[in-house]
C-alpha cells in the first residue's frame, strides 16, 4: 500500500486536533470543521474548475477556442463569472411564494453538500464514514427532487412549473434503475460502507503480496467495471446518474429551447449561482459514487489514493461533458419510456447476473465466473436489450425509418 | 438499441475527433482572435468612400474637381462639398470642404459610379467605430484622402483598371488635341493657299480654281479624323465602356437637381 498522501493528511488532522485536547467542546468544533471545510472548499474549487473544463471542452467539440481572455487559457473565467453573478440584481417575482423561492436553492445546496461527505475520497479519508453510507447517499440525493419542484412551484411561472413537473417525473423514474444497478455492487461487496466497497475491488491475494506486477494489477483488475455485471451496471448507473444530475441528454427540466430554463427561469443573481453550484456538486457526488461503486474508488497503482480518486472523478466528469457535446436532448415520452421500459428490466436482470457470478465464483473459482459471466451473463443482458428495444418499438415504425426532411 | 449503443459511440467518435483535431488542424478551429489578429479582407470588399490622390501631396494630387456630381447622386445625401477659391476669390477645381457622414452613408457606391474623374472610390476599411458619434463619424476631406498606392493595395484589380482608363483617356485627349491642331494647321494652310491662289487669281482674273482646291483639302482630312481614335482603341477597349455609361449618367442628375431619388430610379 502506498497511500502516503492520504495517511499524511490524516496525521495532520490528528496533530491539529491534538492542540485542543484540554477543551473538549472546542475540540469537537475543530474536528467538525476539519472534516467538512476542506471537503466543501475543495469541491467548490472543483466546481470552478469544472465549469471552465466544460466550457472549454464543449467549445473545442464545436470548433471554437472557448474562454481565453481572463487569465492564462481563461482559467480565471469562473472567478469573473462569480463576480458577475454576485453583482447581478436578485429579482424575486411579485407573485411568487417568497419564502419557498428563497429556500429552494438552499434545499438543493444542502443535500449536495451532505452527499459529498459520503464519498471515500482516499484511504481512510471519509467525512461521514457511516456503515450505511450508500443508502444514505441515495436517500439524501433524492431530496434534490423536492428542491427542484419547490423552485418550480414557488416561482409562479408556467415554465418554471413545467420544469419542476418534468424534474419530478424524471428524477423519481431514474432513481429506480440507479439504485437497482448499485444493488449489484452492494450484493457482491456485502456492505453499504464505501471503504469496504473500495476494499472489495482490490484483489486481496495480490495486493500486499510484495510482487511488483501483482501489486500493480491487483489494484486495477479488481474493479467492478471489469466484471460482466459491473460493466452493464456501470452503463445503467451512469445513464441514470446523468438523468439524476439533470445533465444532457436528460436536461429536460431546464430545456432552454422548450421551457426557457425550467425551474431556473425566475432565478437570478446569486440564487441562480447557487443552483448552478449545487447542480455541479450533485453531478460530482453522483460521479464520485459511480467511481466508488464501479471504478475502484481510490484504489490504483503507484499514485496515492486521493490523486487516483480525483483523476477518476474528473475523467468521469469529462465523459459527461463529452456526452453533452454529442447527444441531443430526449423527448419527454422517450425519457420516461427509456427508464421504465428499458433500463429498469435490464437492471433487474443484472441483479440475477450478479447473483449468478457470485455463486459461480464461490463454486468454481474466479476464472470460471468471469468467463461464464461474460458469455452467459452479458449475453443474456445483450439479448434482453435487443428484445426490449424490439418490444418498445412503436408499431407505427415498421421497416426502415424514412426521414421526410433530413437526408 | 442494443446494450452497447453503436450509434451513440459513433457520434461520440465524431465529437472526439473534432475535439482533438482542433488542437493541431487549422480548419477545425477557424476562429480569428480579432483585435490581435485580423483576417485578410477580400479585395472586392466595399465599405465607405474615399478620395484618391496621385503622387505624394494629397492636396496637389487630388483627382477631385469638386464637380458635385457625387453630392447630387448620393441617395441619403451624406456628401457635402464646397468649392475651393484662390486668393483672388476665383473658384478653382478643388474642394475646400468634402465631408462624408459615415453614419448616414449606406455604401451604395453610386458616387463611385457617377464620378467622371476616377476620384471617389470605395474603401475596405471596416474599423469605423468612434468615440464621438457626431464629429467623429463625420469624415472630412483630409481624412478621406488616400494615395493611389493605397488604392492599389486594397483593390489591385480595380485600381489597375482605373489607371489604364486614365492613361487611355489622356491618350485620347492628346490625340484629339493633336487632331485639332492638325486641323487648325491644315485650315490655316488651306486659307493661306486660298489666299495665295486668290491673289494669283486676282492677278490672272480667273475665279473658277478656288472651290476645287477646297474640296481637295476636305477629302484628305476625312480619313485622318477616323484614324485618330482607332489608334488608342486597343489599349482602352474595356475602360471605354463604363466611361460611356458615366458620360450618360453625368448630365442626368444635373437636369433633375430637385429630385435626389432620381439615381435610384435609374437603377
Taking an 8 Å Cβ-Cβ cutoff, which residues of chain A contact chain B? 57, 60-65, 68, 232, 235, 322-323, 325-327, 342, 346, 381-382, 385-386, 389
Instruction: Give the start-to-end residue ranges of the domains of chain B.
Output: 48-154, 171-258
Of A60, A322, A385, nearest to B2 by CB-CB distance is A385
pLDDT value at residue A319: 92
pLDDT value at residue B36: 85
Give the start-end residues of each E strand in chain B. 48-53, 79-85, 91-101, 120-123, 138-139, 145-147
Question: What stretch of H or E contains B70?
Answer: helix B69-73
Instruction: Give the start-to-end residue ranges of the domains of chain A.
Output: 89-391
**Which chain A residues are Cβ-neighbours of B18 within 8 angstroms?**
60-63
pLDDT value at residue A374: 83
Residue A125: strand pairing partners = A122
Q: A391 vs chain B: nearest CA distance in angstroms?
A: 11
**Which chain B residues are Cβ-neighbours of A325 within 8 angstroms?**
15, 19
B2:A389 CB<8 A: yes
Question: What stretch of H or E contains A329?
Answer: none
Of B15, B23, B29, nearest to A322 by CB-CB distance is B15
Q: A313 vs chain B: nearest CA distance in angstroms?
A: 19
Of B3, B19, B28, nearest to A385 by CB-CB distance is B3
**pTM greater than 0.80 (yes/no):** no
Q: What distance in Å separates the CA atoms of residue B176 and residue B182, rounded to the nearest whole number? A: 10
Q: A81 with A120: CB under 8 angstroms?
A: no
Q: What distance in Å separates the CA atoms of residue A175 and residue A211, rounded to the nearest whole number? A: 42
C-alpha distances in Å from residue A271, one per residue of A2, A45, A268? 43, 19, 6
Peptide bond into A249 cis (omega under 30): yes
Which three cell numbers mark A329?
A: 436532448
Residues B106-164 pLDDT 10s? 988 899 999 888 888 888 888 888 888 888 888 888 888 888 888 888 888 888 888 89
pLDDT value at residue B144: 87
Q: A313 with A131: CB under 8 angstroms?
A: no
What's the full length of chain B, in residues? 267
A342:B15 CB<8 A: no
A62:B18 CB<8 A: yes
Q: What distance in Å separates the CA atoms of residue A309 and residue A123, rounded to the nearest whole number? A: 10
Transcribe B126-165 into DSSP letters.
Answer: -----S-SSTTTEE-HHHHEEEHHHHHHHSHHHHHHHHHH
Q: What distance in Å separates the CA atoms of residue B3 and residue A372, rounded to the nearest whole number? A: 18
Of B15, B19, B31, nearest to A65 by CB-CB distance is B31
Which three cell numbers mark A221?
A: 483488475
Output A31-39 pairs: Cβ under 8 A, ≥24 positions apart: A35/A117, A35/A127, A35/A128, A36/A117, A36/A127, A39/A116, A39/A117, A39/A121, A39/A127
Q: B13 with A326: CB under 8 angstroms?
A: no
pLDDT value at residue A407: 59
A65:B8 CB<8 A: no
Reported as a pLDDT band with limits 50, 70 and 90, residue A322 is: very high
Q: A25 vs chain B: nearest CA distance in angstroms?
A: 54
Determine which of A27-36, A216-225, A226-235 has the lowest per-residue pLDDT on average.
A216-225
Which three cell numbers mark A124?
A: 481512510
- Tell me, what DSSP letter sits at residue A250? S
A382:B22 CB<8 A: no
Instruction: Please state the separation of Cα B48 from the chain's center in Å.
Output: 15
Q: A305 with A223: CB under 8 angstroms?
A: no
Output A267-270 pairs: Cβ under 8 A, ≥24 positions apart: A267/A105, A267/A151, A267/A155, A268/A88, A268/A89, A268/A90, A268/A91, A269/A85, A269/A86, A269/A88, A269/A89, A269/A90, A269/A91, A270/A85, A270/A86, A270/A88, A270/A90
Mean of pLDDT over chain A: 85
Q: Is a pLDDT exceeding 60 seen at residue B233? A: no
B36: number of CA atoms within 13 Å, CB side? Answer: 5
CA dihedral A108, A113, A115, A117 (to 10 degrees): -170
Is the domain covering B48-154 a CATH 3.30.70.3270 domain?
yes
**Which chain A residues are Cβ-neighbours of B33 within 8 angstroms?**
65, 68
The percent of residues above 70 in pLDDT, for chain B, comes to: 75
Q: What distance in Å separates the CA atoms of residue B16 and residue B23, rounded to the nearest whole number? A: 12
Gyration radius (Cα) of chain A, Å: 23
Number of CB pairs < 8 Å for A and B? 50
Q: Is a pLDDT exceeding 50 seen at residue B267? A: no
Residue of A53, A60, A65 to mutate when probing chain B, most B C-beta within 10 A: A60
B1:A346 CB<8 A: no
**Which chain B residues are Cβ-neighbours of A322 within 8 angstroms?**
12, 15-16, 19
Residue of A325, A338, A378 to mutate when probing chain B, most B C-beta within 10 A: A325
**Which chain B residues are Cβ-neighbours of A236 within 8 angstroms?**
none
C-alpha distances in Å from residue A231, one per residue of A223, A290, A342, A350? 10, 12, 17, 10
* C-alpha closest to that of A121 among A318, A308, A303: A308
Strand duo B91-101 + B145-147: pairing? unpaired
Question: What stretch of H or E contains B76?
Answer: none
* C-alpha closest to that of A177 among A250, A259, A263, A279: A250
Q: B29 vs chain A: nearest CA distance in angstroms?
A: 5
Q: Is a pLDDT exceeding 50 seen at residue B240? A: no
A382:B29 CB<8 A: no
- Residues 6 or more apart whose CB falls under 8 angstroms from that of A270 comprise A85, A86, A88, A90
How many CB atoms neighbour CB A163 within 10 A? 29
This complex has an ipTM of 0.78
* Chain B residue at shortest CA distance from A387: B2
Burial of B219 (C-beta count, 10 Å sphere; 0-12/13-18/19+): exposed
Q: Is a pLDDT exceeding 70 seen at residue A119? A: yes
Determine which of A101-105, A330-334, B190-194, B205-209 has the lowest per-residue pLDDT on average.
B205-209
Unique residue bearing C-alpha cell 480579432: B34
Amino acid at each position: 500500500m502506498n497511500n502516503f498522501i492520504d495517511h499524511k493528511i490524516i496525521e495532520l488532522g490528528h496533530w491539529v486536533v491534538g492542540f485542543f485536547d484540554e477543551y473538549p467542546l472546542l475540540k469537537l468544533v475543530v474536528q467538525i470543521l476539519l472534516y467538512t471545510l476542506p471537503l466543501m472548499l475543495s469541491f467548490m474549487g472543483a466546481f470552478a474548475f469544472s465549469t471552465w473544463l466544460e466550457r472549454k471542452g464543449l467549445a473545442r467539440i464545436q470548433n471554437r477556442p472557448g474562454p481565453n481572455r481572463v487569465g492564462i487559457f481563461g482559467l480565471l473565467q469562473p472567478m469573473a463569472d462569480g463576480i458577475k453573478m454576485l453583482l447581478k440584481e436578485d429579482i424575486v417575482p411579485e407573485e411568487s411564494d417568497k419564502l419557498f423561492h428563497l429556500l429552494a436553492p438552499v434545499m438543493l445546496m444542502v443535500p449536495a453538500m451532505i452527499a459529498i461527505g459520503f464519498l471515500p475520497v482516499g484511504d481512510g479519508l471519509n467525512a461521514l464514514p457511516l456503515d450505511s453510507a450508500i443508502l444514505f447517499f441515495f436517500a439524501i440525493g433524492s431530496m434534490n427532487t423536492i428542491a427542484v419542484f419547490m423552485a418550480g412551484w414557488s416561482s409562479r411561472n408556467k415554465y418554471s412549473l413545467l420544469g419542476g413537473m418534468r424534474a419530478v417525473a424524471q428524477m423519481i423514474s431514474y432513481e429506480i434503475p440507479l439504485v437497482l444497478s448499485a444493488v449489484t455492487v452492494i450484493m457482491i461487496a456485502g456492505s453499504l460502507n464505501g471503504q469496504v466497497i473500495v476494499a472489495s475491488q482490490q484483489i486481496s491475494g495480490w495486493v500486499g503480496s510484495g510482487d511488483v506486477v501483482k501489486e500493480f494489477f491487483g489494484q486495477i483488475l479488481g474493479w467492478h467495471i471489469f466484471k460482466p455485471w459491473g460493466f452493464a451496471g456501470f452503463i445503467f448507473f451512469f445513464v441514470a446518474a446523468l438523468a439524476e444530475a439533470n445533465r444532457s441528454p436528460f436536461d429536460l427540466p431546464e430545456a432552454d429551447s422548450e421551457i426557457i430554463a425550467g425551474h431556473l427561469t425566475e432565478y437570478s443573481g446569486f440564487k441562480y449561482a447557487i443552483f448552478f453550484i449545487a447542480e455541479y456538486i450533485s453531478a460530482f457526488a453522483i460521479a464520485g459514487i459511480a467511481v466508488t461503486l464501479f471504478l475502484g474508488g481510490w484504489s490504483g497503482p503507484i499514485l496515492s489514493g486521493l490523486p487516483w480518486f480525483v483523476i477518476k472523478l474528473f475523467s468521469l466528469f469529462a465523459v459527461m461533458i463529452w456526452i453533452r457535446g454529442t447527444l441531443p436532448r430526449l423527448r419527454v415520452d422517450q425519457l420516461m419510456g427509456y427508464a421504465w421500459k428499458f433500463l429498469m428490466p435490464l437492471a433487474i436482470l443484472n441483479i440475477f447476473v450478479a447473483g449468478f457470478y457470485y455463486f459461480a465464483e464461490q463454486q468454481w473459482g474466479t476464472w470460471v465466473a468471469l468467463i461464464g459471466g461474460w458469455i452467459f451473463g452479458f449475453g443474456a443482458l445483450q439479448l434482453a436489450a435487443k428484445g426490449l428495444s424490439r418490444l418498445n418499438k412503436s408499431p407505427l415504425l415498421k421497416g426502415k425509418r424514412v426521414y421526410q426532411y433530413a437526408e | 438499441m442494443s446494450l452497447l449503443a453503436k450509434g451513440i459511440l459513433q457520434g461520440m467518435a465524431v465529437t472526439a475527433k473534432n475535439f482533438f483535431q482542433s488542437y493541431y488542424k487549422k480548419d477545425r478551429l477557424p476562429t480569428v482572435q480579432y483585435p490581435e489578429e485580423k483576417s485578410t479582407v477580400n479585395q472586392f470588399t466595399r465599405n465607405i468612400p474615399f478620395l484618391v490622390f496621385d503622387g505624394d501631396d494629397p492636396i496637389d494630387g487630388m483627382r477631385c474637381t469638386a464637380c458635385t456630381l457625387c453630392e447630387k447622386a448620393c441617395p441619403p445625401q451624406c456628401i457635402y462639398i464646397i468649392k475651393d477659391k484662390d486668393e483672388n476669390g476665383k473658384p478653382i477645381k478643388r474642394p475646400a470642404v468634402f465631408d462624408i457622414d459615415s453614419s448616414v452613408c449606406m455604401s451604395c457606391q453610386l458616387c463611385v459610379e457617377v464620378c467622371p474623374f476616377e476620384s471617389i472610390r470605395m474603401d475596405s476599411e471596416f474599423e469605423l467605430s468612434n468615440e464621438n458619434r457626431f464629429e467623429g463619424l463625420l469624415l472630412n476631406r483630409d481624412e478621406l484622402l488616400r494615395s493611389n498606392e493605397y488604392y492599389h493595395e486594397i483593390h489591385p484589380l480595380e485600381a489597375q483598371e482605373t489607371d489604364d482608363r486614365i492613361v487611355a483617356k489622356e491618350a485620347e485627349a492628346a490625340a484629339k488635341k493633336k487632331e485639332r491642331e492638325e486641323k487648325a494647321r491644315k485650315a490655316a494652310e488651306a486659307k493661306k493657299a486660298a489666299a495665295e491662289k486668290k491673289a494669283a487669281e486676282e492677278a490672272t482674273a480667273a475665279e473658277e480654281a478656288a472651290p476645287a482646291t477646297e474640296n481637295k483639302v476636305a477629302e484628305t482630312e476625312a480619313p485622318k479624323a477616323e484614324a485618330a481614335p482607332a489608334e488608342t482603341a486597343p489599349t482602352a477597349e474595356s475602360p471605354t465602356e463604363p466611361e460611356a455609361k458615366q458620360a450618360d449618367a453625368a448630365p442626368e442628375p444635373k437636369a433633375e437637381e430637385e429630385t435626389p431619388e432620381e439615381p435610384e430610379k435609374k437603377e
